[in-house]
Amino acid sequence: MSNFIKTAFLLGLLTGLLMLIGGLIGGPRGVLIFFLIAVGMNFFTYWFSDKMVLRAYNAQPLSQGDAPELYNIVRELAAAAKIPMPKLYLIPTDTPNAFATGRNPRHAAVAVTSGIMRLCNWEELKGVIGHELSHVINRDILTSTIAATLAGTVMLIASVARWGAIFGGFGGREDEEGGGILGLIVLAILAPIAATLIQLAISRTREYQADASGARLTHHPLYLANALRKLEAGNERLPMDAGPATAHLFIVNPLSTAGLMRLFFTHPPIEERIARLEQMATRAGMA
């Protein structure tokens, strides 16, 4: 199954979860209403998600005069990838990280933190930028943001539905179908877990793909592998004050890595990502 078909299928599952909750709450009318909610959320995400996330992290525009070396790296790789030069932004935080956003290559932006500019050398930054531009080329950011929006909506509505069912807010459905409240409570508990797992499947698949295509774009898989080592250590030492809804955008997980929560990260394990990049380098005859 191709990555596009797999992603479309998973996004369909998220929409279906939302409609299923709507059906248990309001019957056929609820299905229609919640389908329209999903469409509306996708429309809003398509047009405004990039502006919202840049504003959320206080990202400031970067000109060529502000960071000429970084600007040249991005321009070189964008030309190699045959996409327009994305806008550059700087996030004022010591946590080393980066992300790309935008609905398509013509409306893309790459944001880097002050921390990554100090921590990584120019080869490693080139590996990071190659990864982020691969997300832009593959339109991963839009897909992942839509997935996060739908998953967040499922979780929010499931929580409301769960408490509403417990306190009798949807009592009419039980009389119509028998056991409706119990079914709603069960679904409201399981739906957020399912939504999280679907979001993880989308994000992790696309991170591996961006690593590989970014390494091919720079022709040096070890540039990114070395950067990932530094970024993992830097984020463990100084986690970013990032929102869980946008954590999937960053090249490495910006949240605290303590405990069992590692199982629910949108990013695959750094060790596995580095191992795959090193295998690419070995196949290419690089040390």
56-98 per-position pLDDT tens digit: 899 999 999 999 999 999 999 999 999 999 999 999 999 999 9
How much is the pLDDT for 187?
A: 63
Known catalytic residue at 132: yes
Which among 69, 123, 132, 176 is annotated as catalytic?
Answer: 132
> Are 56 and 78 spatial neighbours (Cβ–Cβ below 8 Å)?
no
User: Hey, what amino acid is at 142?
Assistant: L
How much is the pLDDT for 200?
A: 67
Alpha helices in the chain (DSSP H): 3-56, 68-81, 114-119, 122-137, 140-166, 172-177, 180-218, 221-237, 270-283
How much is the pLDDT for 168?
A: 57
Largest CA distance in the chain: 69
Tokens 């409609």 found at: 19
For residues 271, 276, 282, 287, the Cα torsion angle rounded to the nearest 10 degrees is: -40
How much is the pLDDT for 110?
A: 96
Domain ranges within the chain, ordered by starting residue: 3-283
> Are 146 and 42 spatial neighbours (Cβ–Cβ below 8 Å)?
yes
d(CA 151, CA 138): 21
> Are 217 and 80 spatial neighbours (Cβ–Cβ below 8 Å)?
yes
How much is the pLDDT for 1?
A: 46
> Are 154 and 191 spatial neighbours (Cβ–Cβ below 8 Å)?
yes
Backbone angles phi, psi at 121, to 5 degrees: -80, 180
Under-70 pLDDT residues of the chain: 1-11, 14, 145, 148-152, 155-156, 158, 160-188, 191-202, 244-245, 256-266, 287
How much is the pLDDT for 176?
A: 47
How much is the pLDDT for 188?
A: 64
Could you tell me the strand order of the sheet in which 109-113 lies? 60-62, 87-91, 109-113, 98-101
Which of 231, 229, 232, 225 lies closest to 211, judged by CA? 225
pTM of the entire predicted model: 0.77
Tokens 């946008």 found at: 246
Gyration radius (Cα) of the chain, Å: 21
